[in-house]
Structure 1
Amino acid sequence: MTEQGSTLGMGDAPKRRSYPRIVVAGAGSIGCFVGGMLAQGGHDVTLFMREATMEEISKHGLLLTDFDGLDVELAGDRFAMDTQAACLAGADIVLVTVKSGATERIAAQIAEYAPQTAVVVSLQNGVQNVELLRRALPNHDVRAGMVPFNVLWVGGGRFHRGTSGDIYIDKGKGHIARLMSLPGLEMHEHRNMTAVQWGKLLVNLNNALNALSGVPLKQQIGDMRWRRLMAAQMDEALAVLRCAGIGTQNPFAALPMRAVPYVLRLPTWAFRWLAKAMLSIDPTARSSMWEDLDRGRSTEIEELQGRIVRMAADQGMSAPINSAVAALIRESETLGAGAPQMRPQEVRARIKAR
């Protein structure tokens, strides 16, 4: 996020003030898709973004698509874009969608510019970001959120949702989930977002495996060899969480998280039958970590496998599988050549070598 640049509304038509005024802080793949859908639904939305992102959307417009047939091109007067943190002034709701490494910086900007009445919602991966925001914003109503779906920044102003699911937000005053919920972007309140976030973190451990594979998610999940790796690192992480006394809730299905590794190890025909929802994804969808490697950006590996490894050390345990996967992602970041397109047996060999 940059402090350079100026406010830019896409079009000359005046914006009609509506409640709530929503500022998406750190509008990248998830932020542009969620913010764009909210704007399409009639909300007053400002996308607070990097200058390069603003230039792309200014040139091409904002196009939202998904695997289920969504195809929306937003008119220029439906939302505003800005590269200056001053756009946070007057916000009723701030949706934080920056990567984990930028949380402290965006928190300082919110503290400086956003009114204390603004509700701040973390729609970020990992479980630590909401606590960072709460410590930095003690006078704000800060809530955890969980976005289950994947969005790929295709380029040319297009953001494509490749998987499905509803957004969950901490229960609190104002029923903000109900205020923002729209057809195609359903939002709900939840009383135990901590368990939901840990459940999503366990599922998101596959982000790294998908990035290492370089193949679409549906192809990767359909390969029993990759699923066994998914199950092994999830089993390891579940053991660490049990030792730490942390509960989890599956954000994608009624199946308890402890049963997911068992399902992943089933023969492919049985897995496809039991896990239809997991396979209801765009054939071209890939993980956000794959996108980070592809674009030469830092990944969130420290908030996923890295978090499990650190927790294991705190409990006097080891987490060799998660540690090896994290090391492979760090190597790929350093090389800067995109996804390494590894085979599952290559990943297993690196795990055994540690």
Structure 2
Amino acid sequence: MSEKTTQEYSTKGAYVTGGEFNRDTNYIEDRITRDGTQGPNGEPGWPVEAGRYRLIAARACPWANRTVIVRRLLGLEDAISLGQPGPTHDARSWTFDLDPDGKDPVLGIERLQEAFFRRFPDYPRGITVPALVDIPSGAVVTNNFPQITLDFSTEWTEFHRPGAPKLYPEHLRQEIDEVNKRVFTEINNGVYRCGFAGSQEAYEAAYQRLWTAMDWLEQRLSQQRYLVGDTITEADVRLFTTLARFDAVYHGHFKCNRNKLTEMPALWAYARDLFQTPGFGDTIDFVQIKQHYYIVHEDINPTQIVPAGPDLSGWLTPHGRESLGGRPFGDGTPPGPVKAGEEVAEGHGAV
């Protein structure tokens, strides 16, 4: 790539724009549903159909990581194929630079941007992961990440594996939704509000909000094994992907440095408990995670040097959370081995 092209599509100035960071949460809100309708009035949508859709989910991205975990826990690997872009991108979009010839082997595209443009020429917003793409047309269906995992749980039940856990049980949905709202605003997005703050005042306000919520979690999880109820739910998935990146990225890169995760006894034990549960830690690629944040965010790390640390061996140490009771998969069972070809590369996990 020429120097001119590199500068033209640089991400510099794309993240830190001054003052408080506000995330654009306007996504493509189409849904894939059992009856093929999108809303309460029967608006046309996309029907659940095994083999029709491809989930594009970069290992580095916490929002995409959620969908990979839920897909694996529910056993949807054979119904929904998985494409995984590399960890870095420029201002245009994620690229399939880890695939042979730099193209997604199913969609045949070099950039996720192409799938968005096939649906919406000159799509004006960010090209984000996760995204579900309609394989026959090559067009994006949705990138509305909060809804994607809920629909995996509620609309794709025909294709769930035997023993799939109930991640969004009806009797707990109100509490799950309430917890998810606070976790998203204060923690999932809170770390970004710290990292992308454009002023000292905005940063300090974001920092206080983040740690107020982290202390709330520390107290809550000192008394119960999981966030809601006595089994793993959607709420745990959403929190876990932020915790998995906390010490490796958010503590230093995003200046969320009051404590390391390893210095918060309940949260650290909870995170290790989930990491060691099939479907969670076996989706985490620490190398790609660090490459993404430290290389792509030129505003924060202009040298693009990727740190060598931290030590990851602690993720595999005993957590002792069994003493709080709980049944990880409820009446269900753990997922089997990771699907061939979807394994985290050797040396990229916790060793």
TM norm structure 1? 0.30
Structure number with greater CO (CA < 8 Å, separation at least 6) is 2
More helix by share: 1
TM norm structure 2? 0.30
